[in-house]
Amino acid sequence: MSKFRPHGNYKLRLDGRILVSDLQGPWNLELVDAWMRAAYPMVKELAATGPHVHLTVVTGSLLCTPESLDRLTEVIVYTTAHMKCVGNPVVAAAEVEGRALFEPMYARIYDGSPPRGLFYDIETAKTWALELLAKEGF
């Protein structure tokens, strides 16, 4: 049982072979767990037919608990090894709270994962994601 209610909000949508998570932060572990449970069926469906990219668009704040970063690391490692995730771009505009603080944390949680990128706008991130998928033949 969770200690807290989820903090933050998310919405999931598919854009071809890209799973887009619109995330409003700050967030906690409970939100990450709910987010991942909701995303799992979509990721499983994508993995059954080939590689995919998980693009996250953050608004509000990038601040989060250390436990939520640990869980994100676990999820990234799992989806890379078992669910054919080939990239993890994150979009956060310059005004998103904590963006400068997030950059070193982002590098740590995605260490050893497939390609990652921290972008200011969704168009650039989507172009990057589509290039990754093209390299995979999709």
**Extents of the domains making up the chain:** 9-135
- Collapsing DSSP to helix, strand or coil, 43 comes out as helix
- Grade residue 6 by pLDDT with cuts at 50, 70 and 90: confident
Q: Specify the higher pLDDT residue, 115 or 44.
A: 44
| Burial degree of 69 (CB within 10 A; 0-12, 13-18, 19+) | middle
- Grade residue 1 by pLDDT with cuts at 50, 70 and 90: low
* Token pair listed for 41: 């069926």
pLDDT at 115: 78
Contact in structure between 55 and 19 (CB atoms under 8 Å): yes
Determine the average pLDDT of the residues in 86-92.
94
Q: Is the pLDDT of residue 114 over 80?
A: no
Q: Is the pLDDT of residue 105 over 80?
A: no
Least confident of 51-55, 75-79, 100-104, 132-136: 100-104
Q: Specify the higher pLDDT residue, 107 or 88.
A: 88
Quick one: fold of 9-135? Transcription Regulator spoIIAA (3.30.750)
Q: How many CB atoms lie within 10 A of CB 93?
A: 13
CA distance 8 to 21: 12
Residue 67 C-beta-side C-alpha neighbours within 13 Å: 11
pLDDT at 116: 84
CA distance 109 to 133: 22
CA distance 126 to 64: 24
pLDDT at 91: 96
CA distance 17 to 102: 26
> What one-character DSSP code corresponds to residue 61?
B
Determine the average pLDDT of the residues in 3-30.
94
- Collapsing DSSP to helix, strand or coil, 113 comes out as coil
Determine the average pLDDT of the residues in 120-138.
96
Q: Specify the higher pLDDT residue, 73 or 37.
A: 37
Q: Is the pLDDT of residue 46 over 70?
A: yes
